[in-house]
Amino acid sequence: MTEPERLRADAMRNRTAILRATEELLTRYHPQQISMEKVAAAAGVGKGTVFHRFGSRHGLMRALMQERAQDLEIAITTGPPPLGQGAPPRARLLAFLTAVVEMVARNKGLLAALGPAAPVTAVPEQEPREAHPVYRSWHGHISHLIHQQRQDLDADMLAHVLLATLHSEPILNALERGDGDRLIHTLHDLVAGLMPDP
């Protein structure tokens, strides 16, 4: 292994250790109690390494949330049906929306650390949400699935509407109260109305 390769491997190992440490700390502490120093100590790296890798506490939390979104993206593209390919569009959309709600519900502490309107596709204030790569990917996936079954509908706008529900304060409050199953059932009812069984 060359020196540059070793350095890259060390950087990746440090990144993974930092993200895993942050994830573990979020299970034990309120997000406001998690400092960069605490993360560095838990990861076994220097505080400067954490700052160099992620820039800020917010950058660290955002990277962890994006990793969660990437895991879901992999399941969509290479995983088994119904989330992955091989199932009818309606079944895939139901599985996708369920997975997103479950991901948001599992990561409430992380979302709290990111601040209001943070779910999954949080973006810098000057950048519109729809410019975020995760949002674009999920929007494209939803609109494609709707269009596959219902060419008569405005799949593009419906995808925005479905994703917007995950950024609304009442929905986030419901998830905070543990009403994830209720939200999933409601989204399933909505999709059943849009995309009835053929």
pLDDT score, position 192: 95
pLDDT score, position 151: 97
Helices vs. strands in the chain: H and E counts, helices first:
10, 0
DSSP state of 130: G
- The pTM of this model reads 0.76
pLDDT score, position 23: 86
Q: Walk along the chain (198 residues) and give the pLDDT tens digit of each residue.
A: 676 666 688 889 999 999 999 988 988 888 788 999 999 999 999 999 999 999 988 889 888 888 888 889 999 999 999 999 999 999 999 999 999 998 888 777 676 666 554 555 554 555 566 667 778 889 999 999 999 999 999 999 999 999 888 878 888 788 888 899 999 999 999 999 999 987
pLDDT score, position 59: 87
Compute the CA torsion angle 34, 176, 124, 46 (nearest 10 deg).
20
Give the separation between CA 172 and CA 99, rounded to whole angstroms. 15
DSSP helix/strand/coil, 55: coil
pLDDT score, position 79: 94
pLDDT score, position 117: 44
pLDDT score, position 65: 83
List domains and CATH numbers for the chain: 1-55 (1.10.10.60), 59-194 (1.10.357)
